[in-house]
Amino acid sequence: MTSLQDKSSLPPSYRNLQILEVLASEGRPLTATEINASLNLPVPTIHRLVGNLEAEGFLIRHIDGRSYQPGPKLRQMMQGVIRFWHQDLPQRDVLIRLNQRLGETCNLSIPDGDAMLYIDRVETQWPLRIQLHVGSRVPLHATSAGKMALSQIDDGKLGRYLKRAELRAYTAQTLTDPDRLREELRQIRQQGYSSDTGEFVPGMIAMAVPVLDRSGQLIATVSFHAPVQRLTLAEGMKYLPDLRAAAEELAELM
């Protein structure tokens, strides 16, 4: 098997795969320099290859503006693979059991650039529901999952994000003031859960908790949402222990 260091005869197409392999193995956004720590390519070469992958849509910039993560083309490939086997994934069983306890739609999401990407969900049986399928992207600042993800990044990166982000008002409840959003994110970080009361969809509430890796870094969020006609946010708080238990199970599986 060819090692990452045996690169003298490798074609550029294989080097591109190596870049994606390094990114996938780390499971977090990486700068070109961090990627190259494993590949040891000439500096101009790694920047050219990463730039080409970004131009073709296989990579996109993270919200910090410096590091890279999977782009739309790579996401489409990932989603295609997931469709082959996600019904049998152990983590789906966690969502199914959570859905059975709550009776509401439960979601597993990952950060995806300036949005959250639904990678799995189990729908409520009630006819009144939000129609968002696996692969949907939802805004960071206006959803419980997105605010949870934002709360986990350091103050420097958060400041850079808030300076350039379009904090669009989806409803009258959406937080569009950077200072108010920053204060809520600080509270979310302290309490370990986030909520959304009609900030993305009128009349809907949601709660999310983080799924953390062994080093304490966020890898996903698990959440539920429901219409206020069935469940108020205050009533939904009773499910916080269930959400946290599901997040712990998912952390072990992911």
Taking 50 as the threshold, does the pLDDT of residue 28 lie above it?
yes
Q: Report which residue type is found at 165.
A: A
- Using an 8 Å Cβ cutoff, are 211 and 251 in contact? yes
Residues of the chain with pLDDT > 90: what percent? 46
Q: Determine which helix (DSSP H) or strand (DSSP E) holds 138, and give its type and residue range.
A: strand 137-139
Q: Where are the domains of the chain?
A: 12-72, 89-253
133-175 residue pLDDT tens: 677 789 999 999 999 999 999 888 899 888 888 899 999 999 9
The residue type at 104: E
In degrees, to the nearest 5, what angle opens at C-alpha 75 toward C-alphas 3 and 100? 115
Q: For residue 3, is pLDDT > 50?
A: no
User: For 192-221, how does the pLDDT look when each residue is reduced to its tens digit (9 = 90+)?
Assistant: 999 999 999 999 999 999 999 888 889 899
- Helices 43-55 and 32-39, interaxial angle, to 10°? 120
What pTM did the predictor assign?
0.68
186 pLDDT above the threshold of 80: yes
Which CATH architecture describes the domain 89-253? 2-Layer Sandwich (3.30)
Per the prediction, the chain carries an average pLDDT of: 85
Give the Cβ contact number of residue 57 at 10 Å.
Answer: 14
Q: What is the pLDDT of residues 46-70, one digit of tens each?
A: 999 999 999 988 898 887 888 998 8
User: Is the CB of residue 96 less than 8 Å from the CB of residue 117?
Assistant: no
pLDDT score recorded for residue 33: 92
Q: Within its chain, how far is the Cα of 183 from the centroid?
A: 21
User: pLDDT digits over 70-122, tens only?
Assistant: 888 887 777 666 555 455 567 888 889 999 999 888 999 888 878 898 888 88
Judge whether 149 and 220 are in contact, CB under 8 Å. Answer: no
Residue 74 corresponds to which amino acid?
Answer: L
CA 98 to chain centre: 19
Taking 50 as the threshold, does the pLDDT of residue 4 lie above it?
no
Do the domains 12-72 and 89-253 sit in the same CATH topology, yes or no?
no
pLDDT for residue 7 is more than 70: no
Give the C-alpha distances (Å, rounded to integers) separating 95 from 92, 132, 134, 210. Answer: 5, 16, 13, 14
At 131 the pLDDT is 66
CATH architecture, domain defined by 12-72: Orthogonal Bundle (1.10)
> For the CA atoms of 230, 198, 213, 81, what is the dihedral angle to 10 degrees?
80
C-beta atoms surrounding 174 within 10 Å: 19
